[in-house]
Amino acid sequence: MTSIDFSVPAWLIIYYHSIGIISFLLNSATIYLIVFKSLFQEPEDFKIFCTITDFHITFLMQPIPLYPILGGFCTGLLAIYLDVWAHYLMAFIVAAIVAQIESLAFCFFKKHQTIGKLMNRHVFPEGLYDIVAWGLPMVPVTVFVLFLQTGMRRSEQMNYINKNYPEYFNQFSTLPNFAVYEFNYWTFLLAIIAFSGGIGCGSLFIFTTIDMFKFLQSTQLKRRISAIHLKRHRAAIKSLVAQFVTSSLCLAPPFLYAVVIMSSINHAQLIVQGLLAIFSLHSSVNAVVLVITTPPYRKFVLREHPKRNLIVAPASVSHLSGI
């Protein structure tokens, strides 16, 4: 087995601090644009979840993997100063990822329903729509609880290390805050739920996007709304799709991390650290994409003066549904 590196990589900690500050500034600027430079004054759920996730992982958590063991330790503020167990911090990250994906999926759904009502096609009953909307907060909470079940108790970790990795017992005993995992029934159940949820959200993204573009091409819709509103809908959908693409930075690293853990490749420890660094970028990239693909934001940043009849509502989780 590859030896475990217990050292704290200085470059990764510096990176966490640097990208955390950049992310906070970009997200703050984006939220300002959403609140003061758009047609709607609703909160941006997806952007808020991205901001919370980035702040958590770069400042409060700062995870350090312990390849080839499935686990790691934390050097963030919550771990060091409040001794919040790394397993709890990890569970929060997993739940936050789920919250991001479901909020983006619901944005596609709401936007699709908005256009569908204009066409009187593929419209969900109001009662079912309300049930879905009110049930969304329960999904990340459920995932958080299920993930907690995948780990062993904190008091049992050293016994597990002594039994399975006795050569590293002394090194683990010096770590103040770490979490290790082994595959069990709860892990398998959570994997099935994650896979099913991913397939469901992916299908929703594809179906609603294709259906909305079909709506926009229909003569019926062109007769019912003005060319300006049609342009708004088209720009909003394109921006939504762009945000969906950038969300791969949120999903790809955890998947690749699992692949690396289950394989024996050279420099795997550095690779998993790099995957964590890429994951930390997703909110910043999403903020840049949101500004680039939303005309009012882009024009404001470039100090252009948009024409009134060309203002496009932002392609964001809350606003797009109301265009």
CATH number for 143: 1.20.1070.10
The kind and range of the H/E element at 72 are strand 71-74
Assigned domain for 108 exists: yes
Q: What are phi and psi of 154, to 5 degrees?
A: -60, -35
121 or 77: which carries more pLDDT confidence?
A: 77
Q: What is the SS3 assignment for 65? A: strand
C-alpha 15/C-alpha 21 separation (Å) is 10
Total Cβ atoms within 10 A of residue 17: 13
Of the pLDDT bands very low, low, confident and very high (cuts 50, 70, 90), residue 59 is very high
Q: What is the SS3 assignment for 151? A: strand
Peptide bond into 68 cis (omega under 30): yes
> What DSSP state is assigned to residue 38?
S
**Residue 315 pLDDT more than 50?**
no
Assigned domain for 1 exists: no
Of the pLDDT bands very low, low, confident and very high (cuts 50, 70, 90), residue 37 is low
> What DSSP state is assigned to residue 181?
B
Domain that residue 192 falls in: 10-300
Say what the pTM is: 0.85
308 or 167: which carries more pLDDT confidence?
A: 167
**Residue 1 pLDDT more than 60?**
no
Each residue's pLDDT tens digit, 111-154: 899 889 888 888 888 888 888 889 889 999 999 999 999 989 88
CA–CA distances in Å: residue 266 to residues 95, 261, 271? 31, 12, 9
Residue type, 183: F
Total Cβ atoms within 10 A of residue 108: 25
Each residue's pLDDT tens digit, 206-241: 999 999 999 988 888 888 888 888 888 888 888 888
C-alpha 55/C-alpha 62 separation (Å) is 10
**Alpha carbon 285 to chain centroid, angstroms:** 12
Assigned domain for 255 exists: yes
Of the pLDDT bands very low, low, confident and very high (cuts 50, 70, 90), residue 301 is confident
> What pLDDT is recorded for position 305?
52
> What pLDDT is recorded for position 41?
42
Most confident of 8-12, 104-108, 314-318: 8-12
Assigned domain for 101 exists: yes
What percent of the chain shows pLDDT beyond 90? Answer: 35
Structure tokens at 236: 């909003």
**Residue 83 pLDDT more than 70?**
yes
Assigned domain for 254 exists: yes
> What pLDDT is recorded for position 143?
94
With a CB cutoff of 8 Å and minimum separation 6, the contacts of 235 are 293, 294, 295, 312, 315
**Alpha carbon 47 to chain centroid, angstroms:** 9
> What pLDDT is recorded for position 314?
43
> What pLDDT is recorded for position 239?
82
Assigned domain for 323 exists: no
Assigned domain for 90 exists: yes
**Alpha carbon 52 to chain centroid, angstroms:** 10
- If one counts the domains in the chain, the total is 1
Q: What is the SS3 assignment for 294? A: coil
Assigned domain for 4 exists: no
| Residue ranges in 84-156 assigned as alpha helix (H) | 86-119, 126-135, 138-150
**Residue 35 pLDDT more than 70?**
yes
Residue matched to tokens 């509502």: 313
| Whether the Cβ atoms of residue 46 and residue 60 lie closer than 8 Å to each other | no
> What pLDDT is recorded for position 303?
74
